Amino acid sequence: MKIRFYGYDKCSTCRNALKFLDARGIEVEPIAIRERPPSFAELKSMLASYDGDVRRLFNTSGVDYRAMKLSAKLPSMTETEALALLAKNGNLVKRPFVIRGTRGIVGFDERAWSEFFA
pLDDT given for residue 68 in this prediction: 96
Spatial distance between the Cα atoms of 75 and 70, rounded to a whole number of angstroms: 9
pLDDT tens-digit map of 1-48:
789 999 999 999 999 999 999 999 999 999 999 999 999 999 999 999
Determine the residue type at 31: I
Helix (H) or strand (E) holding 83: helix 79-88
- Structurally, what CATH architecture does the domain formed by 3-116 represent? 3-Layer(aba) Sandwich (3.40)
Domain boundaries defined on the chain: 3-116
